[in-house]
Amino acid sequence: MKKLYGVIGNPIGHSMSPAMHNDAFKTAGIDAHYQPLQIKTEDLPAAVPGMKAIGISGFNVTVPHKTAIMPLLDEVDPLAQAIGAVNTVVNVNNRFIGYNTDGAGFIRGLHEEYGKSVLDKRILLIGAGGAARAIYYTLSQQGAILVDIVNRTAEKAEQLKTRCPYPVNTSILSLQQAETTLEKYDIIIQTTSIGMSPKVDEKPLSLQRLRPDAFVSDIIYNPAKTALMKEAESHGARVQNGLKMFVYQGALAFEKWTGTLPDTERMEKIVIEKLGGKTC
């Protein structure tokens, strides 16, 4: 019988996950369908047992349900618990188990582009929201040595640091401190929404002191090249956008559901097509 997978969120109409996963199932020869499911916040407690009743094999979770779904699951993986968000649910013998593949997806994509391990590098994380939490906790869990954080609201960065259950060397910096000590960092990870379309000229900070051998990873993928990435390139640095993070969070979910990693190059092409052909 055809297996059923999906993604729950609200809104969900613009999600690129159905195209990416339906093609991956077809390419892998797996008889399955991946369905976008729009679920209102107030309907989530009824929707989760409903999905179990219809025998869904697994699903992704997106805004606004990533945190609210946690108490409705049978089990939550410790990393997802620390992050405080679930983006992937696997049905194992009728038990829903929640994971978070956002951080691991980001690190896979960064590693692929950077070309060597990032864990022993000096990293500056810009932002302290949901995406930053997934990236910071996963980097720490995987053994990153130094990850400093700069965020508009310093208390949120402090919270990120103090609640992290994994050991990592972290200082919380003001915007000015980050800008003036930028030459210290090998990798800059930009996780705020600043620079996202339509406000494409905005940047979270100045990269004047960026080293030419540094690497700047901006998790935004619309536009394909943010103002921050353009400035980084003007200093000779290498850059990447958030496309690979998106592809790999999906690929790692697919691997949890099926036991095999899909063809990520093919997934990336589908997402680029969906974005109108623009890549950085």
CB of 95 to ligand NAP, least distance (A): 27
Residue 64 in the binding site for ligand NAP (CB under 6 A): no
Q: Which stretch binds ligand NAP (CB under 6 A): 48-56, 89-97, 121-129, 264-272?
A: 121-129
CA distances from 227 to 22, 113, 182, 213, 233 (A): 33, 20, 17, 19, 10
250 lies in the site for ligand NAP, by CB under 6 A: no
- Residue number, nearest CB to ligand NAP: 129
Q: Looking at beta carbons only, is 36 or 130 nearer to ligand NAP?
A: 130
Helix ranges, the chain (H): 17-27, 44-53, 78-83, 102-114, 130-142, 154-162, 175-180, 227-234, 243-258, 264-274
* Cβ 254 vs Cβ 99: under 8 Å: no
Q: Single out the segment in contact with ligand NAP by CB under 6 A; choices: 135-143, 148-156, 207-215, 266-274.
A: 148-156
Q: Which residues, other chains included, contact 176 with Cβ-Cβ below 8 Å and sequence gap of 6+? A: none
Q: Is 196 in the site for ligand NAP (CB under 6 A)?
A: yes
Which lies closer to ligand NAP via its Cβ, residue 77 or residue 102? 102
* 194 lies in the site for ligand NAP, by CB under 6 A: yes
Residue from 2, 3, 66, 244 carrying the catalytic annotation: 66
* Distance from chain centroid for Cα 45: 25
Tell me if 278 contacts ligand NAP by CB under 6 A. Answer: no
Structure-block tokens of residue 203: 């940047």
Q: List the one residue from 15, 60, 141, 151 that touches ligand NAP (CB under 6 A).
A: 151
CB of 66 to ligand NAP, least distance (A): 9
Backbone phi, psi, residue 103, to 5°: -70, -45
Residue 148 and residue 179: Cα distance in Å, rounded? 12
Tell me whether residue 11 or residue 167 sits nearer to ligand NAP (CB atom). Answer: 11
184 is catalytic: no
Look-up of token digits 């009728």: 94
Left if phi > 0, otherwise alpha if psi is -120 to 50, otherwise beta: which for 27? alpha
Write each residue from 208 to 247 as x if it is in contact with ligand NAP (CB under 6 A), else as -, in one continuous string: -----------xxx--------------------x--xx-
- Output 91 or 216, the one with its CB closest to ligand NAP: 216
Q: What is the C-alpha to C-alpha distance for residues 149 and 161, in angstroms, rounded to an integer?
A: 9
Assigned token pair, 221: 């993928």
User: Residues in the site for ligand NAP, rule: CB under 6 A?
Assistant: 102, 127-132, 151-153, 156, 191-194, 196, 219-221, 242, 245-246, 249
Where in the sequence numbering do the catalytic residues fall? 66
